[in-house]
């Protein structure tokens, strides 16, 4: 979504006039614990409080009268912003916000439309950061979730802009997204990504693949404008949390991935007598496909067919598992292989379904020994197998949402492990918030040094003019060095009291108090000036 060449028009109007449009009837509040904190078992245990969200209208407070907004067309966009009823946004600190849709809140048919391939993450970050109220962004898109993390100048405006962007890029109506999304802010957003990285928010508790996916967000984001200090710091800390939880708890002991849950589901649906003899077909030899093969081998399967675009990956898997007969077939033989299979696992990145009803209906029936049903276990998002295949009498389709059946067991043990992990997450969340709060002092440090430097340069020029033009370069340098030395020594104390890096016993609260005191004493900056600078930067960026 492009930013207008001036900070005005529809975007500014949405700030300044929304109060006039708001009415008791148009302000909708809903409380939905299922939406705000997912339906996973561990969530209910640790987060019993219900949070309220503003409905999709994202209206502003009624108390903001539109009569306060100046109507002069000669005012600049910034002046309009400052004088509008929406200037409450100027007093907000930039917020970390998560706009998410996960397996706990959103059916797969909606998630697959919103999914963003990894190759498109940099483009998505750039487009998100071009929105008027978004400073930083990251995308976490997996088979179980589609979550957008942003640093927003305004929570309400930021959420509205991101939701509209999601609708525009996916074709899913805003109302449909709002029906399924969950919104988390600041501390809650931090805790959420830490839980995600630790495997607490996964369908299968403690699964390891999500940590690799969080790492990939950082890898892809490196060097991308918009993957800024706050968001990159958040994801890097999440990686640390994920590693620590798996090291210090036994949460990963016996835990299974989505791929192994898919194998478990297939075995649950097959008669026990044919677990090792059923004809297995795996379509796709990527990360997920390779894990499916490994878990099939672990369950006693000694022969399977793997369909893939190229043989290289299949050969590598065959080298790794030399005691298993893995037969490679090219993609153009997929239907022929499916006709000879009892269970078909699909895990490809295809944007269109590989199997629809009309393709499956002509496949020969499977034997009674495997239950007379051909099983399609589809762990891809977007889906590789159409739901219409279920209409056939001799076929059944299961997708990632059906894996819940597999993970319903051992509830007590999973909750105990989750409690251990939550203690670590709580500790790490406090550390991250302290780090983020300490960033507030950085602008003050820069402003104070710049303030002192302006005084130094001005006084140095006065001194040099009094000394005349016949002074030597050595003397000039000596006087300049003297002035710099005096300033540096005077600033040393205040600078030390503005740094919160754990090198001394000073608390974050004391550091922030020092920052506010220096801001007041030297008039270094105000909330409005910070916002002005950010908005000016966005306007200038679009005018280049």
Please report the pLDDT score of residue 269 as a whole number.
Answer: 92
Please report the pLDDT score of residue 52 as a whole number.
Answer: 36
Q: How sure is the predictor about 19, in pLDDT bands with cuts at 50, 70 and 90?
A: very low
- Which 3 state secondary structure label does DSSP give 535? helix
pLDDT at 140 over 90: yes
pLDDT at 537 over 50: yes
| Between 93 and 15, the higher pLDDT residue | 93
Task: Give the pLDDT confidence of 202-237 residue by residue, as tens digits.
Answer: 877 787 789 999 999 999 999 899 999 899 999 999
Task: Give the pLDDT confidence of 391-412 residue by residue, as tens digits.
Answer: 999 999 999 888 877 766 555 6
pLDDT at 544 over 70: no
Q: What are phi and psi of 149, to 5 degrees?
A: -105, 130
Q: Domains in the chain, ordered, with CATH?
A: 89-249 (3.30.460.30), 258-401 (3.40.50.720), 441-543 (no CATH)
DSSP 360-399: HTTSPPPPGGGTS-EEEEE--SS-SB-GGGGGSTTEEEE-
pLDDT at 86 over 50: no
Cα angle: 157, vertex 162, 167; to 5 degrees = 125
| Between 22 and 310, the higher pLDDT residue | 310
Please report the pLDDT score of residue 323 as a whole number.
Answer: 82
Q: Which of 185, 257, 508 is nearest to 407 (CA)?
A: 257
Residue 255: Cβ-neighbour burial (10 angstroms; 0-12, 13-18, 19+) = buried
Task: Give the pLDDT confidence of 273-302 residue by residue, as tens digits.
Answer: 898 889 999 999 998 899 999 889 888 898
pLDDT at 331 over 70: yes
In this structure, of 77-91, 167-181, 212-226, 320-334, the range with the lowest mean pLDDT score is 77-91
Q: How sure is the predictor about 154, in pLDDT bands with cuts at 50, 70 and 90?
A: confident
Average pLDDT, the chain: 78
| CA gap 371, 269 in Å, rounded | 9
Annotated active-site residue in 31, 52, 129, 143: 143
Please report the pLDDT score of residue 254 as a whole number.
Answer: 58
Q: Which residue(s) pair with 182 in the sheet?
A: 100
pLDDT at 171 over 60: yes
9: left (phi over 0), alpha (psi -120 to 50) or beta: left
DSSP 98-151: EEEEETTTS-HHHHHHH---GGGHHHHHHHHHTSTTEEEEEEEE-SSEEEEEEE
| CA gap 114, 136 in Å, rounded | 20
Q: Which residue(s) pair with 30 in the sheet?
A: 53
- Which 3 state secondary structure label does DSSP give 344? strand
Q: Which of 388, 330, 399, 398 is nearest to 359 (CA)?
A: 388
Task: Give the pLDDT confidence of 468-504 residue by residue, as tens digits.
Answer: 888 888 988 999 999 999 988 888 777 777 665 544 5
Q: How sure is the predictor about 18, in pLDDT bands with cuts at 50, 70 and 90?
A: very low
pLDDT at 325 over 50: yes
Active-site residue, 31 included:
no
Dihedral sign, Cα of residue 309, residue 310, residue 313, residue 314: positive
Cβ distance 157 to 66 under 8 Å? Answer: no
Share of the chain above pLDDT 90, in %: 42
- State the DSSP H helix or E strand holding residue 308, giving kind and residue range, or none if neither: strand 303-308
| Alpha-carbon radius of gyration of the chain | 29
Please report the pLDDT score of residue 444 as a whole number.
Answer: 72
Please report the pLDDT score of residue 259 as a whole number.
Answer: 86
Q: Which residue(s) pair with 183 in the sheet?
A: 99
Q: What are phi and psi of 72, to 5 degrees?
A: -70, 125
* Reported pTM: 0.58
Task: Give the pLDDT confidence of 305-323 residue by residue, as tens digits.
Answer: 999 999 999 999 998 888 8
């Amino acid at each position: 979504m492009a930013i207008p060449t001036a900070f005005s028009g529809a975007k500014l109007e949405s700030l300044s006039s929304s109060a006039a449009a708001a009415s008791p009837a148009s302000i909708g509040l809903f409380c939905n614990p299922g939406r705000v904190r997912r339906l996973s078992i561990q969530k209910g245990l640790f987060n019993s409080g219900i949070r309220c969200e503003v409905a999709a209208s994202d209206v502003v407070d009624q108390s903001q009268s539109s009569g306060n907004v100046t109507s002069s067309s000669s005012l600049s966009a910034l002046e309009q912003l400052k004088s509008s009823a929406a200037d409450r946004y100027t007093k907000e600190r930039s917020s970390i916000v998560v706009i998410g849709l996960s397996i706990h809140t959103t059916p797969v048919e909606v998630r697959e439309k919103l999914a963003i391939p990894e190759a498109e993450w940099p483009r998505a970050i750039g487009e998100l950061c071009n929105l008027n109220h978004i400073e930083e962004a990251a995308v976490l898109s997996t088979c179980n979730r589609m979550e957008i993390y942003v640093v927003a100048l305004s929570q309400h405006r930021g959420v509205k802009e991101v939701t509209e962007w999601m609708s525009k890029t996916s074709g899913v109506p805003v109302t449909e997204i709002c029906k399924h999304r969950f919104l988390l802010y600041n501390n809650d957003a931090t805790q959420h990504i830490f839980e995600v990285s630790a495997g607490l928010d996964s369908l299968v508790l403690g699964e390891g693949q999500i940590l690799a996916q969080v790492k990939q967000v950082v890898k892809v984001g490196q060097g991308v404008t918009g993957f800024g200090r706050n968001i990159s710091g958040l994801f890097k800390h999440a990686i640390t949390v994920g590693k620590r939880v798996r090291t210090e708890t036994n949460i990963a002991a016996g835990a299974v991935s989505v791929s192994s849950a898919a194998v478990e589901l297939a075995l649950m649906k097959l008669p026990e007598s044919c677990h090792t003899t059923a004809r297995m077909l795996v379509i796709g030899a990527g990360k997920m496909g390779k894990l499916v093969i490994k878990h099939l081998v672990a369950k006693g399967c000694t022969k399977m067919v793997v369909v893939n675009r190229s043989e290289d990956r299949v050969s590598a898997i065959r080298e790794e598992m030399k005691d298993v007969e893995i037969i490679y077939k090219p993609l153009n033989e997929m239907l022929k292989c499916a006709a000879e299979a009892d269970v078909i696992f699909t895990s490809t990145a295809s944007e269109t379904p590989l199997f629809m009803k009309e393709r499956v209906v002509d496949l020969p029936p499977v034997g009674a020994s495997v239950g007379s049903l051909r099983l399609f276990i589809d762990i891809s998002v977007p889906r590789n197998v159409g739901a219409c295949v279920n209409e056939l009498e001799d076929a059944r389709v299961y997708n990632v949402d059906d894996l819940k059946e597999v993970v319903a067991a051992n509830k007590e043990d999973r909750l105990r492990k989750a409690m251990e992990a939550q203690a670590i997450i709580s500790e790490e969340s406090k550390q991250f918030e302290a780090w983020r709060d300490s960033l507030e002092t950085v602008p003050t440090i820069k402003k104070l040094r710049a303030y002192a430097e302006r005084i130094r340069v001005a006084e140095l020029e006065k001194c040099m003019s009094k000394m005349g033009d016949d002074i030597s370069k050595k003397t000039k340098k000596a006087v300049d060095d003297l002035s710099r030395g005096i300033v540096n020594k005077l600033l040393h104390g205040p600078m030390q009291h503005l740094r919160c890096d754990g090198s001394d016993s000073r608390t974050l609260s004391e550091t922030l108090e020092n920052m506010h005191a220096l801001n007041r004493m030297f008039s270094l900056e105000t909330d409005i000036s910070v916002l002005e600078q950010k908005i000016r930067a966005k306007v200038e960026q679009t005018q280049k």
